[in-house]
Structure 1
Amino acid sequence: MVLPSTSPLRAGLVVVQPLRRKHCAACRRGPLPLLVLEDGVPRCLACADLGHLVFLPRGDTALTRRSREESALWAVVVRFNRRRGRYERQGLLVEEEALARAESRCLADAEARRRRRARDARRRAAQDARFAEAFATQIRRLFPGCPPDRAGAIAAHASERGSGRVGRSAAGRALSEGAVTCAVIASVRHLDTPYDRLLMDGVARHEARRRIAADVEAVLRGWREAVGTAAAAQSPVTGTEAATKPTVRTDIAG
């Protein structure tokens, strides 16, 4: 077990939460919940002179930072994530007295930090609401036949913070036509076609999308009709312009 060169822990002491049963090479104690690698062999915390440290799980940023500041000796605890192929931080080992001092410091300004978190949460909520409204407005511009409530629901779903959906992508935040259309297509696929039932029946995803592509396009065409009517009344589209207008494949978007 060797920490990779890409590990974020390039300096300082590193303690590993092993995925497999390991025993200390010195005292043979085991299996070890935590170990230190010395010369490529595992050693328990006691043999590595870290047995007096206590574990502080990750999660509380202020407590973690202050515990590290207060502790003369500390180590980062990591565990290998097989799916991502990298070591990830799980917390710290710090001196017990240092942890107590850090907890006292955190309690002293807990109210101020709570108010700051509340302000930050309100600010993010306001930003998210403005973005979702802008996203819904763009949906209604591209698909004027889409019911307003449906446009709002699509925008709220696609733009949810931390979701990784198309609304949070760079193109989505820029309200690009392609990203907005992909969000609408995804909603239509799940709510207006038998796509979900096909998946439950064991149909492969790409085949299910192919089967319902015409249904998706029919809904989109109906929602776009007002755009086509308005455009025709204002400025007829020439054959060349129509040929160069970008399209979005409904069988792959979303």
Structure 2
Amino acid sequence: MEPLVVVEPLKQRRCADCRRGPLERMILEFNSPSCLDCADLGHLVFLPRGNAALTRRAREASGLWAVVVRHNRQRTRYERQGLLVEEVALARAEAACLADAEARARRRERDASRRAARDVRFTATLTAEILRLFPYCPLDRAADVAAHTSERGSGRVGRTAAGRALDEGAVTAAVRASVRHLDTPYDTLLMRGIPRHEARRRVAEAIEATLARWRGPEREAGGMGTE
């Protein structure tokens, strides 16, 4: 069954029945324009296009509805502008969409709380692993490294698969990165225009000295890494 079609005229038109005009919207019957009141559609309200869920619900709830179109001269075609639906149907559709939006918002809040709790647990686990590998690292520094590298959306080592699995190489890389930026002049070298690889070479010895000190004397021999 073809839907009723209401046209938004580009030119000024008058109703063929009641002579009222210019018409904002009209229906063509036998190629003659009729206003919505004369076409028994005046009680409907306009719902602009743009919200697919609201449009679908309003159309389904409305006993009478019509498609509103306007001619696009550049594209030489009629384009949908929205619907005319019963006011009570639109109100019901808006209420349903609002309930859905509230439900989605509550679900997002619950999901965010669960993610935050998981992040807190993982940060604590990562802190413990850093202290296992570097028992002489200060506790607050280990916690800062864990929080920084595991920050959601950061793309840092702690968010990689290896980092989440507490891979020793990934955890060590996170600690090494922290030492590089906070305990050496690496960032200053970069700001002076020193190429990254050269800047890393210059600070490599200082980084390894700090890592060795944090590992402790009992692990120093086997704990040295390369930059």
What TM-score does the superposition give when structure 1 sets the normalisation length? Answer: 0.53
Q: Is this contact kept in 1: 2:158–2:164, CA < 8 A? A: yes
Aligned residue number for residue 160 of structure 1: 151
Which range is displaced more, 202-211 or 109-118? Answer: 109-118
Deviates more, 1:180-189 or 1:106-115: 106-115
Q: Which residue of 2 aligns with 1:195?
A: 186
Which residue, 169, 174, 178 being the options, matches 1:178? 169
Residue matched to 1:31? none
Answering whether residue 226 of structure 2 is matched by residue 249 of structure 1, we say: yes
Deviations 1:171-195 (A, max 9, x none): 0010000000000010000000000
The counterpart of 2:96, out of the listed 105, 108, 125, is 105
**Alpha-carbon shift at residue 228 of structure 1 (Å):** 2.2
Q: Indicate how the Cα distance of structure 1 residues 185 and 159 shifts in structure 2: closer, same or farther if over 3 A, else same.
A: same
Matches within 5 A, 1:1-254: 66=53, 96-97=82-83, 104-225=95-216, 227-228=218-219, 248-250=225-227
Q: Percent same amino acid at aligned positions?
A: 58
* CA-atom RMSD in angstroms: 3.3
Q: Which amino acid aligns with 2:148?
A: H
Kindly state the Cα deviation for residue 196 of structure 1 after the two structures are TM-superposed.
0.6
- SS of the equivalent of 1:146 reads coil
Aligned amino acid, residue 136 of structure 1: T
Structure 1 residues 51-90: Cα deviation after superposition (integer angstroms, max 9, x where no partner): xx85x6xxxxxx77x3696699xxxxxxxxxxxxxxxxxx
Task: Rate the CA distance shift 1:114–1:205 in 2: closer, same or farther, 3 A.
Answer: same
How many Å apart are 1:161 and its aligned residue? 1.2
CA–CA distance in 2 between the matches of 1:69 and 1:202? 59
Rounded Cα–Cα distance in structure 2 between residues aligned with 1:191 and 1:224: 18
Aligned AA for 2:214? W
Instruction: Report the Cα offset of residue 118 of structure 1.
Output: 1.4
Could you tell me which amino acid in structure 2 is paired with residue 218 of structure 1? A
Given the two structures, how large is their TM-score scaled by the length of structure 2?
Answer: 0.59
Contact 1:158-1:167 at 8 Å conserved across structures: yes
Extract unaligned runs of 5+ from structure 2: 1-47, 60-79, 85-89
Equivalent-residue separation in structure 1 for 2:148 and 2:219 (angstroms): 27
Which amino acid is the alignment partner of residue 219 of structure 1? Answer: T
Q: Deviations over 1:190-220 (max 9, x none)?
A: 0000001001101011110010000101110
Q: Contact (CA 8 Å) 2:208, 2:224: kept in 1 or not?
A: no
How far apart are residue 113 of structure 1 and its match?
2.5
Unaligned residue ranges in structure 1 (runs of 5+)? 1-52, 57-62, 73-93, 230-241
| Aligned partners of 2:54 and 2:97 also within 8 Å | no
1:95 deviates by: 6.0
The one-letter code of the counterpart of 1:172 is G
Contact 2:130 2:171 in 1 (8 A): yes
Contact 2:208 2:225 in 1 (8 A): no
